[in-house]
A = this chain, B = another copy of it.
Amino acid sequence: MMRAPATVGQRLEDIDTPALVIELDAFERNLRTLAATVKDRPVRVRPHAKTHKCPEVAKRQLAMGAVGVCCQKVSEAEALVEGGITDVLVSNEVVGAQKIARLAKLSRRAHIGVCVDHADNVAALEASGAKLDVYIEIEVGMGRCGIAPGEPALALAQRIAAARNLRFAGLQAYHGRAQHIRSMADRRAAIDGAAKAVHRTEELLNKHGIECPIVTGAGSGTYMLEVESGAWNEIQPGSYIFMDVDYGRNEWAAPLPRYEHALFVLTTVMSRPAADRAIVDAGLKASSVDSGMPAVWQRPGVVFRSASDEHGVLDIASGAQPPALGEKLLLVPGHCDPTVNLYDWYVCVRGGRVEALWPITARGAVY
């Protein structure tokens, strides 16, 4: 694990770079905004810890009313349980003997849920002796994992209901593609379609005497649409705590709040080779570019044009305040989740001073 690039009490401008910075005031406002939007709604909040990979963040989400968290990997769940989180849903299929053995072990320490989309996987989970809440992932437009809604889901639910130790906990219905559909109207249409698939499957299950306690899913880009549809009673927003450039490009309108940018990469201008160009010490190993380039924060006319492994190239418009050699700038990551996965520490800043250092204990937890 890399040592932290900062110390508590240090000024923002003295932090070594690149560093992953949480602006605590904005982060805490984001936590409160989520709670306010779902207040008095018949929905549980289970934030997605794949975004932050950090028990310290999870604890603050629980303090705001979350029932637990979710994550995508057994190794993430292990890090979260190790960090004191007692209710974790792996919102993903867990396939393979070693992974299932680790999940079984974890299920004796904490309340663990998992998703399935295949009867063979149910059999393997059953054989492991794991004590699990099992959710059927249904395909609702994402084109990734998930069994077809309706009859195939019913057959799988009957298989789970017959399994020792496994409890059929409900449906996982996540429309990932919908999160970044830019227009509100198109996002609503996508979620309406997913809601129909959920309703149809739930009615079929009920008709066959299978109760479906939880329908879980939804992300930061759509979750109020799921809530308003009435088809979901648990939501899994992740990125709302941090936001990023990609989410920033969405249209935001009621019922969805626009969250604030609370996650930044602090970077240093390391070369000024031309009047219209500056080079910073944060490249694609410091800010993931899978969803586009980071943005330079509050520096009009200064644009992050391209990234190589360890360098970022900034274009400086004529008339813009030129970044000086050695100056530190804040970048908003293009995509928060994989950017977080590059760092071992959050440097938590309030009022321009480092208030805390939080270890990202599930960084690199891919298996």
Instruction: Identify the A interface with B (CB < 8 A).
Output: 1-2, 5, 14, 16-19, 50, 72-73, 75, 92-96, 98-99, 117-118, 120-121, 139, 143-147, 176, 268-273, 277, 279, 281-282, 284-286, 288-290, 307-311, 313, 325-326, 337-338, 341-344, 363-367
Known: A146-B273, A288-B284. A367 touches B16 (CB 8 A): yes
Whether B366 lies near A344 (C-beta < 8 A) is no
Known: A93-B271, A95-B281, A338-B285. A367 touches B310 (CB 8 A): no
Closest to A337 in B: B309
Q: How far is the CA of A16 from the CA of B146 in the complex (A)?
A: 22
Known: A75-B2, A311-B144. A121 touches B325 (CB 8 A): yes
* Chain B contacts for A284, CB-based, 8 A: 288, 290, 338
Known: A2-B364, A273-B139, A366-B342. A310 touches B50 (CB 8 A): yes
Closest to A74 in B: B16
**Protomer copies:** 2
Chain A contact residues, majority secondary structure: loop
* Chain B contacts for A277, CB-based, 8 A: 143
Whether B341 lies near A96 (C-beta < 8 A) is no
Other contacts beyond A16-B98, A310-B366, A344-B364: 12, CB < 8 A:
A2-B75, A2-B365, A18-B366, A95-B268, A95-B326, A117-B271, A118-B272, A144-B271, A144-B279, A285-B337, A309-B337, A341-B342
* Chain B contacts for A281, CB-based, 8 A: 95, 366-367
Q: How far is the CA of A75 from the CA of B120 in the complex (A)?
A: 46
Which of B139, B268, B279, B285 has a CB less than 8 Å from the CB of A96?
Answer: B268
